[in-house]
Structure 1
Amino acid sequence: METLANLESFVRSAETGGFSAAARRLALTPAAVSRNVAMLERNLGVRLFHRSTRKLTLTEEGERFLLAVEGNLEGLQSAIANISTDRGEPAGVLKISASITFGTNYILPLLPAFLERYPQIRPDWQFDNRPVDLIAEGFDAAIGGGFELAQGIVARALAPAHIIAVASPTYMQARTPPADPEGLAALDGIVMRASRTGRVRRWTMRNVQGAEMLAMPTETIVLNDPAAMCKAALLGLGVALIAVPDALPHLESGALVRLVPQWYGDAGPISIYYASRTLLPAKTRVFVDFVVEAVKRDRLAERFAGSLG
């Protein structure tokens, strides 16, 4: 009987065209994936791949075998992953990607209670501001915003990512607070350059009456990271347009103040992303449910809302 590890290594190598890419998806080393495929070929008595220094290509026998097993592999994986549910013991490595500030401030603090409830789960978490490819990079779930919903991925909204204008009390001490977003042009701006486009991000702000206005503080300092923008605002260098989750601890402590408080921009929702399989692995399902419950309990959707009045 062939092992599931050998079959997984073969299918993922065929899908990605290489042992290294397959290894990232399977959380194995390229050598281990290559070894599993070689063992499968030896057991079957056929060569499944043509190997070169650049990529793998399927042989004729490999193409036929892929068609025969690919459709059944997910069912086998789900059955194995979910069998622990009957015993109430979700287990295994849980590979998660989360945005840096939101992940460390709001998701990481949930980990002690999560591990106390599910001690057989082993976290493998990555904090990054880039949208990851869940399937290609082998993540069980990701938390953040701005992800493109590739085929097979679903998003479950957690809270809004509203953009607000903030500055330090020291910076505003000798300045008149603006009456509306257009007034931000009179202040030193800590603005963000998008890494993908190279352009400075502009925000259209709105109020609860539905009016809209472009916010364009002077480009005094240009940065490429929201956490750095928040730090620069804390240092009294100007006004920053950042998401409420990034600013909230500093607003609550008084280290930052909100400008034009009736106005906010909308960067879309903060969501948790995962594969849309009918039978999610138990470890992923309990993690998603745990995060959704915690967000609701802590009223993050309400606390992150930028609208007032």
Structure 2
Amino acid sequence: MEPLNHLESFVQSAEGGSFSAAARRLGLTPAAVSKNVARLEARLGVRLFQRSTRSLTLTEGGERFLAQIGPALATLQEAVAGIDTDDGQPAGTLKVSMGQAFGREHVLPLMGDFLARYPAILPDWHFDNQQVDLVGEGFDAAIGGGIELSAGLVARELARIHVVAVASPRYMKGRKRPRHPSDLAELDTLLRRSSPTGRLRSWTLRQARGEEVTVDLPRPRAIFNDPEAIAHAALMGLGVAMLPMPFVERGLRSGELLRLLPEWHQDAGAVWLYYPSKKLLPPKTRVFIDFVLERFRNERFAQRMQVA
């Protein structure tokens, strides 16, 4: 019987249309996938792919072979995935990437309940604001935004994120509440400098009925490159900030922060749950995905990220 990695390299290349796509799914280099397929062809004495610099297509023999081994390979993979249990319970190390502040505030609090339900799973959670290569770096899942949805990845939306104007009651004491985004120019502002470009990020707010305003900000009180630091500065009463709801929701609920211009916001895109698009996910990954989706849904996370 052929080595399983040779067969997986062939099937993933056929399904993904390239050695590069197969490499991302399998956590290998394109060269390694190509070598596995070449060894399989040599063993079978059949050319499975027609190769060119731009495309990879199955030969007639390759199509027959894919039809023959596809179901059998899926059965083997299911058997391997089933080993990833302990007395019938999901088990093993669960490697997950997530943003630092978001992970600490919204994902880490779930760990106690998750471990109580699945005690044989060992969380290996990476708190990092840099994008990761989910497949290439061997992650089981990732939570965040901006990861390229390449072949081999699935993304489930957890929430659309609104960016809102906030300030502490201490800062606003004796000051007139803004009624229009242009009024923010009269207040001390806490600005964010973009790490990639070094530019100050402008404030653009949109109203539900469609009006959009870009605010002129002539009075920065302080400049940061980290939204979590801006949130702390706002809590200290240093000025007005525009921040994503995950950073300010707790302060708004406790009354430590006030939402200014409640009819206005900026759309910051979505936060997603990413995982490899394997037909048969390991049990530890499947139960983590289901657990996160269930908890975020039950706690109305998506609704909380859009209203104060």
Shorter-normalised TM-score: what interval? 0.7 to 0.9
Matches within 5 A, 1:102-181: 102-181=102-181
Q: Distance in 2 between matches of 1:250 and 1:174?
A: 20
Q: Deviations over 1:27-71 (max 9, x none)?
A: xxxxxxxxxxxxxxxxxxxxxxxxxxxx9976x9766237789x9
Instruction: Tell me by how many angstroms 1:84 deviates.
Output: 4.8
Aligned to 2:196, the other structure's residue is in SS state: coil
Q: Deviations over 1:152-208 (max 9, x none)?
A: 112101112110011111111132121122221222221112222322223421122
Contact conserved, 1:154 with 1:276, CA < 8 A, in 2? yes
Q: Distance in 1 between matches of 2:123 and 2:3?
A: 25
Matches within 5 A, 1:1-309: 64-65=38-39, 75=74, 76=76, 79-84=79-84, 88-217=88-217, 218-306=219-307
Q: Distance in 1 between matches of 2:80 and 2:252?
A: 47
* Aligned residue identity for 1:180: H
Q: Distance in 1 between matches of 2:31 and 2:156?
A: 37
Q: TM-score, normalised on structure 1? A: 0.75
Q: TM-score, normalised on structure 2? A: 0.75
Instruction: Tell me by how many angstroms 1:124 deviates.
Output: 0.2
CA change 1:56–1:100 in 2 (3 A) is closer
Instruction: Tell me by how many angstroms 1:109 deviates.
Output: 1.0
Q: Distance in 2 between matches of 1:205 and 1:245?
A: 18
Instruction: Tell me by how many angstroms 1:121 deviates.
Output: 0.7
Give the aligned CA root-mean-square deviation in angstroms: 3.7
CA change 1:116–1:4 in 2 (3 A) is farther
Q: Distance in 2 between matches of 1:240 and 1:109?
A: 26
CA change 1:61–1:230 in 2 (3 A) is closer
Q: Distance in 2 between matches of 1:173 and 1:272?
A: 40
Could you say which residue in structure 1 is the equivalent of 2:54?
none
Q: Distance in 2 between matches of 1:203 and 1:153?
A: 33
Aligned to 1:221, the other structure's residue is in SS state: strand
Contact conserved, 1:82 with 1:279, CA < 8 A, in 2? no
Contact conserved, 2:162 with 2:245, CA < 8 A, in 1? yes
For structure 2, which runs of at least 5 residues remain unmatched after alignment? 9-18, 44-65
Aligned to 1:269, the other structure's residue is in SS state: strand
Number of residue equivalences = 271
Contact conserved, 1:181 with 1:215, CA < 8 A, in 2? yes
Aligned to 1:251, the other structure's residue is in SS state: helix
* Aligned residue identity for 2:157: A
Q: Distance in 2 between matches of 1:131 and 1:116?
A: 30
Aligned to 1:134, the other structure's residue is in SS state: coil
Q: Deviations over 1:77-108 (max 9, x none)?
A: 55412455796411111001111222111111
For structure 1, which runs of at least 5 residues remain unmatched after alignment? 9-14, 17-21, 27-54
Q: Distance in 2 between matches of 1:128 and 1:257?
A: 29
Q: Distance in 1 between matches of 2:150 and 2:30?
A: 24
Contact conserved, 1:181 with 1:216, CA < 8 A, in 2? no
> For structure 1, which segment, 268-277 or 201-210, has the greater mean C-alpha deviation from structure 2 after superposition?
201-210
Q: Distance in 2 between matches of 1:290 and 1:141?
A: 13
Q: Distance in 2 between matches of 1:241 and 1:286?
A: 36
Instruction: Tell me by how many angstroms 1:3 deviates.
Output: 8.8
Q: Distance in 1 between matches of 2:2 and 2:306?
A: 53
Q: Deviations over 1:237-290 (max 9, x none)?
A: 111111111101111111111111111110111111111111111111110110
CA change 1:238–1:80 in 2 (3 A) is same
Q: Distance in 2 between matches of 1:258 and 1:178?
A: 11
Instruction: Tell me by how many angstroms 1:140 deviates.
Output: 0.8
The percentage of counterpart residues that share the same residue type is 48
> For structure 1, which segment, 126-135 or 259-268, has the greater mean C-alpha deviation from structure 2 after superposition?
126-135
* Aligned residue identity for 2:175: R
